[in-house]
């Protein structure tokens, strides 16, 4: 499967993603993956517009798996942006095998009990379980805002916060 990178970022597509990540990865197709976002008509218009010329799909978990496993995908360099760690786990459960997984921005969600692991990454206890699940599958789970930053071990950051 040609998924060169998966980023877990609840801000989805923004400047860091389009300008630095997509170009650094040489991605020619960005897929935003989240079941709720995939049925939001406004997001389906706005997110591809924010992709600044890179092919962009806004898909559910099931449709992301189907797209990444399609014959057409073999010709692409796909960059998946999972909104939440639960989306990333569901993709991995479905057989997706990205080359690398990175945790990016996770803005706090009102009404949840979260801890700020970094200044831009809020994590609940349930999220921490999912991040550890991802790492337990053999992925070195990194935290980086942009590709030029050094790769921080995200599990170490969780451990330092008692998660």
Structure tokens at 32: 């935003």
Q: Would you say 36 and 47 are in contact if contact means Cβ atoms under 8 Å apart?
A: no
Is 14 considered catalytic here?
Answer: yes
Q: Would you say 37 and 12 are in contact if contact means Cβ atoms under 8 Å apart?
A: yes
Tell me the torsion sign for CA atoms 151, 154, 157, 159: negative
Euclidean distance between CA atoms 52 and 28, whole angstroms: 11
Q: Which residue has the tokens 């803005």?
A: 107
* Catalytic member of 1, 2, 11, 14: 14
- Active-site residues, by number, are 14
């Amino acid at each position: 499967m040609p998924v060169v990178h998966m980023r877990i970022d609840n801000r989805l597509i923004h400047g860091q993603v389009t300008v630095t990540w997509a170009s650094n990865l040489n991605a020619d197709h960005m897929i935003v993956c989240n079941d709720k976002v995939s049925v939001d008509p406004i997001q389906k218009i706005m997110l591809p517009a924010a992709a600044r010329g890179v092919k962009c799909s806004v898909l559910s978990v099931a449709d992301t798996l189907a797209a990444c496993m399609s014959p057409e995908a073999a010709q692409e360099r796909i960059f998946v942006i999972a909104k939440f760690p639960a989306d990333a786990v569901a993709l991995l459960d479905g057989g997706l095998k990205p080359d690398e997984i990175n945790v990016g921005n996770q803005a706090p969600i009102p009404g949840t009990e979260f801890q700020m692991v970094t200044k831009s990454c809020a994590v609940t206890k349930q999220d921490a379980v999912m991040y550890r699940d991802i790492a337990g599958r053999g992925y070195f789970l990194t935290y980086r805002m942009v590709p030029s930053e050094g790769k921080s071990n995200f599990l170490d950051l969780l451990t330092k916060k008692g998660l």
